[in-house]
Amino acid sequence: MGGSDSAGRLVRPFTLTGGRTRPSRADFTLITTVTAADPQPETAARPQPEHTRILRLCARPMAVAELAARLDLPVSVVVIMLCDLLETGRITVRPPRSVTTPDPDLLQKVREGLGRL
C-alpha cells in the first residue's frame, strides 16, 4: 500500500475487524452464499456502518467474493465481518453445493437424443 488509500477510503481494514486477523469460523469460502436475515433480530446491538453496508448488499443472496469486490475490501476482512454478523443472527449462510459427477449413461442418452434433432 502506498501513502494514500484508493477512492478515499477513510477507515483502514484492520480497524473494521477490531484488529483481528483471523475469522472465528473456518467454513467461509469464496463461493459461500450470504443473505441478510429477514427480519433482523431485535435483540442484537445496532450494527456498525460497515456491517450495515454488508446487510444492504446481502438483501439478495451474494457470494463472499462478490461481496468483497463490491465493498472494495480484502476477502479476509469481509469474512471476519461476516462472522460477526452470523454470530448475531443478522445473516444466513449457505455453503456451496457439492458437485457430483453426472451419470455417463444419461449423458450418452442426451447426446444421442440431440443427434436425432
The predicted structure's pLDDT at residue 40: 87
Please tell me whether residue 44 adopts helix, strand or coil conformation: coil
Q: What is the pLDDT of residues 90-99, one digit of tens each?
A: 999 998 877 7
- Cβ proximity of 7 and 42 under 8 Å: no
The four Cα atoms 64, 68, 69, 72 give a dihedral, to 10 degrees, of: 170
Global pTM exceeds 0.85: no
Beta strand 33-36 pairing with 62-63: antiparallel
Q: Round to whole Å and give the CA distance between 62 and 92.
A: 11
Q: What is the pLDDT of residues 15-49, one digit of tens each?
A: 676 666 676 667 889 999 999 998 888 877 788 88
